[in-house]
Each structure stands twice: as structure tokens, then as C-alpha cells.
Amino acid sequence: MIKLIDKQRIIIMHTNERKSQREISRELNVDRKTIRRYLREYEKKKKKLLNNQEGKDNALLIEDICSRPNYNSSLRKKRKLTDEIISKIQFYLAENRQKRATGRSKQARAKIDIYEALLEDGHDIGYTTVCNAVRDIDREQKEAYIRQEYLPGEVAEFDWGQVKLIIAGKLVVFEMSAFTAAKSNYRFADIYYHQKTEAFLDTHVNFFEDVGGIYREIVYDNNRVVVAKFVGKNDKKPTDELLKLSIYYNFKFRFCNVGSPNEKGHVEKSVEFIRRKVFSKRDEFNSYEEARAYLQEELVKLNLRPQTLQNGKSAMDILALERPHLLPKPPRYDAARIAEPRVNKYSCVSVDTCYYSVPDSLVGQFVLAKIYADRIVCYHREVLVAEHKRLYGRNLWQIDIAHFTKTLAKKPGAIASSVALSQMEPKLLHIYRKYYQESEKSFIELIELIKKVGINKVEAAISELEKLNIKEVTTDKIVTICQRVDFPTDNKLIKHDCPIEKASKQTLYLYGQLLNKDKLSLMKVK
């Protein structure tokens, strides 16, 4: 193939120097047929240009005369990429789309797999040729994103995306939920440890609370939390949880076609946009809670940015105008997944490979567990029996020592080496180590008291006993302080305002209570 400079030399040598095609061929070492073709094209186009009196399309003719030499290879027949091979590649790509539509995306063939399958069928073809063919076929099937206009309060879109953060020095992969309001482009997001039902419900409830109303329609991708079953390629059966949420909040839902992100263009880009704008600046945090708080702070800043396509108005400004058009928001939905686990011999229930304690009187029985994104709440016969912070991991234990008073009353020595002791509330652990290390049975009675009056009141009672210089702090004495009526402050006990006299009489009053054996003998822990 000759270059542009060769084309220039051919034309100049022929027109200015009057050299023959044979001479030009000999000097430039170019085939005479090639020289003849370029000279004929030049003369034909030059004549057409001179005869074009109106000047119409002159710019195109000039560009064509001076253009770089090129060969038209579009009509060249492919020697190895035959129609048979193209047909097989199209079959494999269609098979991939069917697998993705039925939840088997991880079994789809990659380009290398298609190439190897063709070799196994006896076809002589290169890997690069197969990759180019797959790219060309995919390009033909892609559709354009069509910008649409939406009514206020009409549509919001939802999707999931992953974000990798360093929490307390450890790399953790989180699932980020993202909502985008189609009219205002208002964005809301949150991060979770998983994409399970409770996270799906929690993020919807938080989104509705955040915008102050309900969008009439929400558009979803084809994930397992919303699609219970695929019926053919385009028909999907929604999950019961999505139906319940839709009934409660009165919104319609719509699913995208498989492999058609252009049908949900706002949120497809929002996941990537939020992840980049928020976590590219900072991705290390001391705790999961700190990361969530940071995300919400950054979202406020993003939603306050002026938008070019919205005449400089921010998403927050447009949402304020859109809010009156939203459906009214009912009371907060109970965003929990329900399970009924059996209490094992350790008086714990298992939820997603983690264990949570319940009262030891329930061993062997079933309890109703409400599983939230951040906590576990257990009921037995409609009575609340336990509530724990949600754990994420494998074989982790969340133990409340107050759930084991019945067992520990029979085996008080088991406290010292129990998991419950290591997970005890710091205030209670301090009391145990300071006053009860050799009096475990009395400590169990104290736990029963704390169930009734709370740890703060017990701490206050111990503080009063220490002020009285009482050497031995016992449960009986703590009970006396907790159960007594507040100090009298009327004229019957204190007639003067002298602080010393007041303090002295209060001290005598307390001693009188503690030394009153009749009262102590009648005092029992309810």
C-alpha cells in the first residue's frame, strides 16, 4: 500500500514534470497499474471539481482528491471466519444470555471457552479472530440509552453494587444499595454486609424516610431478592417480601429485561458514581458505623451540587419541588426477616452461622427470631426474651450472662471461665471483679436485681455504700439502697440548711436502714 507522499509524487511527476507512467514506475518502484489507477482517479475528480459551477459538495471533492490512499477491504472475503463459525459463536452467545436469565451467569462461556469449543469441533481459527467476532456481534446487539422525561414523584430506580473498604485494618467487601429518583436525580445509598432480605427491606424503609414519601413506581434489576423465579426469558415471579413491601407502601414495581441496563440508566451509573465520588477520597474507617455515617454525609454534598442538565438546580432543590407529588408515607415498615430456630443446649439460637443467647429456661424450644440488618430480636409466645446486636462472620457468639441465671445458680463456679464473662458489659464486669470474684452465687442474685432496676441504679447504690466506708459490698446491701425511698428532705429530718448537718443526718439515716435487721430480713428480690 502506497503512502500519501507517494501519491503526491506520482501526481506531481505526471502533471508538472510530464513523466510517463513507465518512468514514474521505474523511479518510485511502484506498479504501473497502481500509478494508472491513482492518476485516473485524480483526473476524474479534478475534472468534476472544475465542472461544478455551483460549488456544491466542493469541500467533499477537495477532501477526496487530497485524502490518504486506502484500500476497501470491506468486500474482502474472510478466509477462516466462515458463516458456519459465526453461526456457532452466535449460538454460544445466545446460550450465555439464557444462562444469565436463569441465574447461572457463573456458568456462561468466556471468549476463551468459545474459542476452545470451536477448536474441539475441528475448526482452524485464531483466538484473536474469535474475540473480534464476539465483539462485533455484541456491538450489533447493543442498544442506545434514550433520555426520557418523568413526572414528579413518578419513578425511582434501585440497584446493588460492591464497595471494598478497610474496617479496623481489615479489608471488607460490602454491598452498597443505591436509589436514584428519575426526575430529580436525587441519590440515596447505604452499605450492608450482604444482599439478603433484611438489608433489602431496611434500605427501602430508610430511603422512604429520607425523601419523605413514596414513589409510584420503582424499577429493579433481576436479582434474587426481588425475583423469586424466572418464567421464560422476560417473565419473572416477584418474591413475597417485595409483594408485601409493595402492598404496604402502595408502589408499583417493574423489572428490567435481562441484559438491558439501558432500561434503568439512572441508577446503573449512580452506583459507580457514588462509589467513585464518596470512597475514592476515603476508604479506611475504624468501624462499620463510621463508614455508614461518612457515606450519608457525602451524599448530602453530592445532592447539593448544581446539575447542568437541570438548569443549575441541585437534586435537593428538585426533590423539594417533587415531594408534594409523592405518595404519603405510612408508619415505618418492620424491616425484618422471620425465622423460627430451636434453642440449642447452650441456650442459644443459630442465625446465619452465628449464635445468640436466650434465657436458659427455653432450651429445646422454638423461638420466633426477627432478623434485622443490625440486630436480632427473639420472642417466645409473643413475649420479648432477647435482643442482640447482629454479628457478621462464622461461628461467632453473642452471650448475655443474664440469660443464664437459672443454670449458674446451680453451677456458680462456671462463671469464671464462661464466654458470658468475656462478653459481659464493662460496668458489670468491673463490679464482678471488684466485689464478687469469690461470691458467684451472690453475683447471680445481683444480675436478677439488675434485670429489674438497671445497671445504673446498682452502680449508684454501690457508690453510696463506698461513701459510707462500708468495707463489704453485698447484694443485700445493694438491694436495701435500691429499694429504699429517696432521702427525706422535709423539715421532719432536716430543719436547717447547713450542708454539714444535712450530710451527717443523711449518713445516719442510711446507717439506720442498713442496720435495721428487721427490714433486711423482709427484703427479698422479686
> Do 307 and 384 fall into the same domain?
no
Q: Are 270 and 156 in contact (CB under 8 A)?
A: no
Q: Residue 76 falls within a domain, yes or no?
A: no
User: What average pLDDT values come out for the chain (526 residues) when binned by 10 residues?
Assistant: 76 85 87 86 78 62 65 59 85 82 74 89 88 82 63 91 92 93 92 93 95 94 82 75 92 76 55 88 92 95 87 91 93 92 90 90 93 93 91 84 73 61 69 69 71 78 74 75 55 49 58 50 43
Q: Residue 404 falls within a domain, yes or no?
A: no
3-state secondary structure 367-415: CEEEECCCEEEEEECCEEEEEEECCCCCCCEECCHHHHHHHHHHCHHHH
| Ordered DSSP codes for 195-212 | --HHHHHHHHHHHHHHHT
> In 267-400, where do the E strands start and end?
284-285, 337-339, 348-351, 354-357, 368-371, 375-380, 383-389, 397-398
> Do 386 and 466 fall into the same domain?
no
Q: Residue 516 falls within a domain, yes or no?
A: yes
Radius of gyration of the chain (CA): 39
> Do 421 and 382 fall into the same domain?
no
> Do 11 and 50 fall into the same domain?
yes
> Do 284 and 378 fall into the same domain?
no
> Do 514 and 443 fall into the same domain?
yes
> Do 211 and 245 fall into the same domain?
yes
The angle subtended at Cα 451 by Cα 446 and Cα 455, nearest 5°, is 70
CATH code, domain with 224: 3.30.420.10
Q: Counting Cβ atoms within 10 Å, is residue 65 exposed (0-12), middle (13-18) or buried (19+)?
A: middle
Q: Residue 149 falls within a domain, yes or no?
A: no
Per DSSP bridges, beta strands 354-357 and 217-220 are unpaired
Task: Give dist(CA 383, CA 431) in Å, integer.
Answer: 30
Q: Residue 203 falls within a domain, yes or no?
A: yes
Select from 276, 293, 325 the last residue of a domain: 325
Q: Can you give the pLDDT at residue 147?
A: 59
> Do 193 and 312 fall into the same domain?
yes
> Do 320 and 346 fall into the same domain?
no
Q: Residue 331 falls within a domain, yes or no?
A: no
Q: Residue 150 falls within a domain, yes or no?
A: no
> Do 210 and 294 fall into the same domain?
yes
Any idea what DSSP says for residue 81?
S
From the centroid of its chain, how far is CA 217?
21
Phi, psi dihedral angles at 472 (to 5 degrees): -110, 120
Select from 325, 357, 385 the last residue of a domain: 325
Q: Give the number of domains in the chain.
A: 5
Select from 296, 325, 354 the last residue of a domain: 325
Q: Can you give the pLDDT at residue 95?
A: 85
Q: Residue 440 falls within a domain, yes or no?
A: yes
> Do 417 and 484 fall into the same domain?
yes
**Whole domain around residue 18: which residue ranges?**
4-65
> Do 394 and 431 fall into the same domain?
no
Taking only the tens place, the pLDDT of each residue in 70-83 is 665 555 556 677 88
Taking only the tens place, the pLDDT of each residue in 414-454 is 555 566 666 667 777 777 777 776 666 677 677 777 777 77
Q: Can you give the pLDDT at residue 51?
A: 76
Q: Which three cell numbers stand for residue 492?
A: 421532719
What SS3 state is found at 181? Answer: strand
CA-based nearest residue to 375, from 362, 391, 353, 398: 391
- Supply the pTM of this predicted model: 0.59
